[in-house]
């Protein structure tokens, strides 16, 4: 029933006369086709190329082309005049001319059978027999170095574990070696926190909620990945784009601000707690940054190193050449910009691991949160100041987005745009992944971090307020409902002012609901808190960093099937479950062998 309502609503607001029938769709040229890959590159003369072709009619009227144009006129559908092909060509012919000309000539000959003309829109990648043989036989120095680093890390863990067990009865033990004890780090990962400051366990529910948010993000990313590869039924992806599920996922992209709010919220609260032991000073800022870097960078560098070396060799086939090799090359090019958390500033439109922009934004906002907390922790009007900053930077968001015509992700989430990962869309690269666009979330986290501290230290009667408890209980379903209803509504607005106003209002509502939800999970006892505070979530929550960094590579490798495949809800669900399971399976040893020991080692040094 609901799907029918949304479908009718979409057709109404999009202004399209009709949907093509199945019979008419069957007359359209296939959007994706692949020649046999292995047999092509088994020949010495083999040359396998990927390209996008733009079709035009040789003469009008042209029934099929008019159907292509009619279908493509829906902005949320693929442009069916652009088709993708993976073709086996002759390397000898390419030597005489070039690969682009050979590819385009084959396209022209093929298009003539449809009474159309073909022009090469883009040649993505070509691979020869000799390159295939070289890849099979040769190991690059960078790949050797990566393996040696892994072996060195494993050796340190073995040494640390042996030392830990051999010196259990000793009163003087080397903490630098103990940092590498696998058994100690395993105990840290699986420990159930039940003692200590009674205010600290209140954050246990956050671990469970973080896992739920990550699963939502992973599902959205798995769906996005299917747009990048060759599917036999692109109509299914088009329908997904305008379905209730697709609208919620695209308009739920503000979920990333939930993680940013949590970072500022918990950082502020923990620093205020620390101020009870020792007064906060600005000179503590370098230490705060250092601790954040040693927590994130070792795992980040490891995943980036994998992306730059073995990523493209994990799975062979045409889709590896088509997409993964390009991402791997970008990992090489942008390795240091990622390590210094500048990947959303320098060459921002070049993608290595798409979700990595979040870590850059998170690091920038973490530094700002620490700076403001260290400076203003004694300032009685801090919450009022952060409220002013929140609305002030929302206004800045409004002005910049209005001037440059930036749009929220729900407006950009169209099949053709997703298939290119929002290539050449300034709204995504200059606003969505920017640090300045996330500043309101940072100030919201600062405000609620101070509020959390004040509530538990001075007055917590507000936590028993029936209205607040009720709002907390409905905040999660209300957030989903908001994403669905407003996401559908956005299809009916087109003016610059309306779009910009929607962006600001949407961000205010989402940040408000998210903050109430988190505040309640921490402070209000109820079914939601008890569910998310289950001890079983704690270990999974502690692996969140590793899982978040690994899941894109895992999902990409799973989706890069070496053939044109049918997409369905079952296919996407299976890929999602496989991505989650494999990501956690990889994250477990990475957390125990890399994240924890490096963090302990560098903490011991200072």
Identify the residue with better confidence: 347 or 462: 347
In the predicted model, is pLDDT for residue 401 greater than 50? yes
Q: Which residue has the tokens 């001037």?
A: 403
Other beta carbons within 10 Å of 474: 13
Q: Dump pLDDT digits (tens) for 518-576.
A: 888 888 887 888 888 888 888 999 999 999 999 999 999 999 998 999 999 999 999 99
- Residue 9, pLDDT score: 41
Percent of the chain with pLDDT over 90: 60
How far apart CA 230 and CA 233 sit, in angstroms, is 9
CA angle 133, 135, 141 (to 5 degrees): 140
Number of continuous H segments (helices) and E segments (strands) in the chain:
31, 4
Burial environment of residue 383 by CB neighbours within 10 A (0 to 12, 13 to 18, 19 or more): middle
- Residue 460, pLDDT score: 64
In the predicted model, is pLDDT for residue 387 greater than 50? yes
Q: Dump pLDDT digits (tens) for 259-283.
A: 999 999 999 999 999 998 999 999 9
Token pair for 395 = 């206004």
Average pLDDT score over residue span 190-198:
66
CA angle 162, 164, 169 (to 5 degrees): 120
Q: Report DSSP state, residue 437.
A: G
Closest CA to 554 of 520, 533, 577, 523: 577
Which residues are within 8 A (CB) of 440 and not within 5 positions of it... i.e. 6 or more apart?
390, 393, 394, 397, 507, 511
Q: Dump pLDDT digits (tens) for 239-257.
A: 998 888 888 778 766 788 8
Identify the residue with better confidence: 606 or 211: 211
- Residue 30, pLDDT score: 94
Lowest mean pLDDT among 13-17, 59-63, 302-306, 477-481: 13-17
Burial environment of residue 537 by CB neighbours within 10 A (0 to 12, 13 to 18, 19 or more): buried
Residue 249 and residue 219 in contact, taking contact as beta carbons nearer than 8 Å: yes
Identify the residue with better confidence: 462 or 206: 206
How far apart CA 394 and CA 105 sit, in angstroms, is 53
Read off the pLDDT band of 219 (50, 70, 90). very high
Burial environment of residue 176 by CB neighbours within 10 A (0 to 12, 13 to 18, 19 or more): middle
In the predicted model, is pLDDT for residue 6 greater than 50? no
Identify the residue with better confidence: 585 or 462: 585
In the predicted model, is pLDDT for residue 4 greater than 70? no
In the predicted model, is pLDDT for residue 15 greater than 50? no
Identify the residue with better confidence: 186 or 170: 186
Residue 533 phi, psi (nearest 5):
-90, 5
3-state secondary structure 143-184: HHHHHHHHHHHHHHHHHHHHHHHHCCCCCCCCHHHHCCCHHH
Per-chain mean pLDDT for the chain: 88
In the predicted model, is pLDDT for residue 580 greater than 90? yes
Q: Which residue has the tokens 């999660």?
A: 476
Identify the residue with better confidence: 322 or 439: 439
- Residue 199, pLDDT score: 53
Closest CA to 521 of 505, 507, 504, 534: 534
Average pLDDT score over residue span 429-454:
93
- Residue 1, pLDDT score: 40
Give the count of alpha carbons within 13 A of 422, CB side only.
Answer: 23
In the predicted model, is pLDDT for residue 48 greater than 80? yes
Closest CA to 299 of 45, 497, 7, 589: 589
How far apart CA 475 and CA 477 sit, in angstroms, is 6
- Residue 17, pLDDT score: 46
How far apart CA 324 and CA 310 sit, in angstroms, is 11
Q: For the chain, give every domain's residue range.
A: 22-135, 139-187, 192-605
- Residue 459, pLDDT score: 60
- Residue 479, pLDDT score: 86
Token pair for 595 = 């994240």
Residue 554 and residue 586 in contact, taking contact as beta carbons nearer than 8 Å: yes
Lateral strand order in the sheet of 46-57: 32-34, 82-90, 46-57, 116-128
Residue 60 phi, psi (nearest 5):
-115, 150
Average pLDDT score over residue span 484-501:
83
């Amino acid at each position: 029933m609901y799907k029918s309502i949304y479908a009718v609503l979409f057709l109404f607001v999009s202004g399209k006369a009709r949907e093509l029938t199945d019979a008419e769709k069957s007359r359209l040229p296939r959007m994706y086709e692949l020649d046999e890959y292995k047999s092509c590159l088994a020949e010495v003369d083999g040359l396998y190329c990927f390209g996008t072709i733009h079709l035009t009619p040789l003469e009008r009227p042209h029934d099929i082309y008019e159907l292509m144009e009619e279908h493509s006129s829906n902005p949320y559908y693929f442009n069916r005049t652009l088709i993708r092909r993976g073709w086996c060509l002759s390397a000898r012919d390419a030597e005489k001319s070039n690969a682009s000309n050979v590819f385009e000539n084959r396209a022209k000959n093929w298009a003539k059978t449809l009474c159309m003309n073909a022009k090469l829109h883009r040649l993505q990648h070509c691979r020869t027999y000799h390159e295939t043989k070289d890849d099979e036989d040769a190991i690059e120095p960078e790949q050797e170095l990566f393996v040696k680093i892994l072996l060195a890390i494993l050796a340190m863990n073995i040494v640390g574990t042996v030392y830990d067990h051999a010196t259990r009865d000793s009163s003087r033990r080397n903490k630098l070696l103990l940092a590498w004890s696998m058994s100690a780090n395993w105990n840290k990962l699986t420990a159930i926190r039940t003692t200590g400051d009674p205010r600290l366990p209140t954050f246990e529910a956050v671990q469970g909620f973080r896992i739920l948010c990550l699963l939502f993000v992973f599902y959205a990313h798995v769906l996005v990945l299917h747009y990048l590869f060759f599917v036999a039924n692109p109509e299914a992806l088009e329908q997904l784009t305008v379905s209730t599920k697709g609208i919620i996922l695209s308009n739920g992209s503000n979920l990333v601000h939930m993680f940013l709010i949590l970072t500022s919220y918990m950082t502020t609260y923990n620093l205020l707690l620390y101020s009870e032991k020792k007064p906060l000073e600005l000179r503590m800022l370098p230490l705060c940054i250092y601790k954040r870097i040693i927590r994130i960078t070792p795992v980040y560098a490891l995943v980036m190193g994998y992306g730059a070396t073995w990523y493209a060799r994990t799975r062979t086939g045409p889709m590896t050449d088509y997409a993964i090799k390009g991402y791997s090359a970008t990992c090489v090019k942008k390795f240091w910009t990622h390590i210094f958390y500048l990947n959303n500033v320098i060459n921002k439109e070049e993608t290595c691991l798409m979700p990595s922009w979040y870590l850059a934004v998170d690091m920038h906002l973490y530094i700002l949160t620490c700076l403001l907390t260290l400076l203003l922790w004694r300032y009685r009007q801090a919450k009022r100041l952060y409220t002013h900053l929140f609305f002030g930077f929302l206004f800045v968001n409004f002005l910049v987005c209005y001037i440059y015509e930036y749009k929220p992700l729900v407006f950009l989430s169209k099949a053709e745009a997703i298939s290119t990962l929002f290539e050449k869309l300034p709204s995504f690269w200059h606003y969505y992944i920017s640090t300045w666009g996330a500043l309101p979330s940072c100030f919201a986290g600062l405000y609620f971090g101070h509020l959390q501290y004040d509530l538990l230290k001075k007055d917590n009667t507000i936590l028993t307020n029936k209205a607040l408890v009720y709002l907390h209980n409905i905040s999660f379903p209300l957030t989903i409902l908001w994403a669905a209803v407003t996401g559908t509504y956005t299809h009916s607005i087109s003016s610059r002012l309306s779009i910009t106003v929607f962006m600001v209002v949407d961000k205010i509502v989402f940040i408000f609901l998210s903050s109430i939800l988190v505040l309640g999970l921490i402070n209000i006892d109820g079914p939601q808190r008890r569910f998310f505070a289950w001890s079983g979530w704690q270990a999974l929550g502690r692996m969140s960093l590793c899982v978040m960094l690994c899941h894109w590579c895992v999902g990409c490798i799973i989706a890069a099937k070496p053939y044109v495949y049918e997409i369905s809800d079952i296919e996407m669900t299976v890929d999602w479950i496989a991505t989650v399971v494999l990501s956690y399976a990889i994250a477990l040893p990475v957390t125990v062998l890399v994240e924890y020991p490096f963090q302990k080692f560098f903490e011991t040094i200072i």
